[in-house]
Structure 1
């Protein structure tokens, strides 16, 4: 494991936050619609939307009902890992779409590398287990690669490579430290849907302290649960 100062790990992990990656994804869609076709833009947003829903569902399942895989220490897909491995490869692909295939491949690999670095930082910072970071990466990479595969032979657009590069770079660095309380929102939704007054948390769940009869009312179950966990995505 690289021996980096904590502030560098936090800096790396910030590149996977929803406050940065989602606006970047929308900017990519706008460039696709303007320079290529609206179908490419819609396809990109649809694929990313499916991935976001998948991450959200796994988090809701754990926070609301304790659904996870104890042997893998899995409580839900890492949102940071998924978003970074989905968005950055597509960003590089968009910038390099007019270039030769070999250069495009190199760019996509660089984007995947950024996503893997973010996922690794989540494990180092104890925000996620390895299984959650890896599965998040897999979902994100699949999202990116499916889009890239379908758009590989797109006709050259009307975009200026410099304009696209500069705009995405400015957006990435301007929003680098923007925090969005996604974990708090998902936790609130999980409690609302499940009817419980406290979410499941990893430590007690792994120890098997959160077991309860199916369908038991909140009044019979909330004393077995721990207080809300720190924000993680």
Structure 2
């Protein structure tokens, strides 16, 4: 299923980029305002914002202070995996909101599968470890499912699934190859908060091992007291 030529993983991984997924998330919020309520849109943005906060804090903790799980090669939650696993299921659920439940559920599962594929691409391209990609997929998937479960039975009004599909597809096409230096921004923030001059780097961090404790230094043996013949005469 995931046996793609290496060069094809780059278009896949760009589906999880911030420059694409965040505008899609905002477009979803706009459609929620038009078809549902402000409260529904705020719930979506609040859940996604919380997930973005978790990703950002995990990256700051590593880049600024070297906090991670060395046994799992974990240095922070994958943002690409999280965003794609959160945004695409909600987008497809929204586009299929007027269809029967099985069709809508199929769209949600397709969105989750797309998020998983983006997570796999991050591992294949060596941008993240498996643990980091899995954490991103789980966090994003939970974000999407929480929102979908809370709004599943709400019937939209003034709703055009065709217009939603066209607008989201147009955004995806227009922004697919746009990239933002988000890692540089997060690294700068981490250094500002930690006061360090350089961010922690995975390769050096992985190479670090606990050094064995040095044996206690032997106490110096007392020097033998000089014999009476060698003692200096204080009266000379």
Answer yes or no: same fold by TM over 0.5.
Answer: yes
Structure 1: where are the runs of 5+ without partners?
212-233
Q: Which residue is equivalent to 1:96?
A: 96
Query: Is the 8 Å Cα contact of residues 66 and 200 (structure 2) preserved in structure 1?
Result: yes
Counterpart for residue 12 of structure 1: 12
- Cα separation, 1, equivalents of 2:185 and 2:89: 27
Mapping for residues 1-233 of structure 1, pairs under 5 Å: 2-208=2-208
Larger radius of gyration: 2
Retained in 1: the 8 A contact 2:85–2:111?
A: yes
- Kept in 2, the 8 Å contact 1:204–1:210? The answer is no
Change (3 A) 1:132 1:3: same
Equivalent position SS for 1:10 = helix
CA contact (8 A) 2:15 2:118 kept: yes
Cα RMSD, aligned residues only: 1.4
Q: Tell me the number of residue pairs that the alignment of Structure 1 and Structure 2 aligns.
A: 211
1:228 aligned residue? none
Q: In the aligned structure 2, how far is the partner of 1:93 from the partner of 1:184?
A: 33
Change (3 A) 1:196 1:21: same
Q: Secondary structure at the match of 2:89?
A: helix
What is the CA deviation profile of residues 27-77 of structure 1, one whole-angstrom value per residue up to 9, with x for unaligned ones?
Answer: 000000011111110000000000000000000000000000000000000
- 1:65-123 deviation per Cα after TM superposition (whole angstroms, max 9, x unaligned): 00000000000000000000000000001001111111111000000011000000000
Distance 1:139 1:195, change over 3 A: same
Deviations 1:159-184 (A, max 9, x none): 11110101100101110011011100
Residue in 2 that maps onto 1:231: none
Query: Structure 2 stretches of 5 or more lacking a match?
Result: 212-236
Asked whether the 8 Å contact 1:78–1:132 carries over to 2, the reply is yes
- CA–CA distance in structure 1, aligned partners of residues 3 and 45 of structure 2: 37
Deviation, 1:207, is: 1.2
1:158 deviates by: 1.1
Equivalents in 2 of 1:139, 1:210: separation in Å? Answer: 31
CA distance in 1, matches of 2:114, 2:2: 15
Deviation at 1:153, TM superposition (A): 0.5
DSSP-derived class of the 2:84 partner: helix
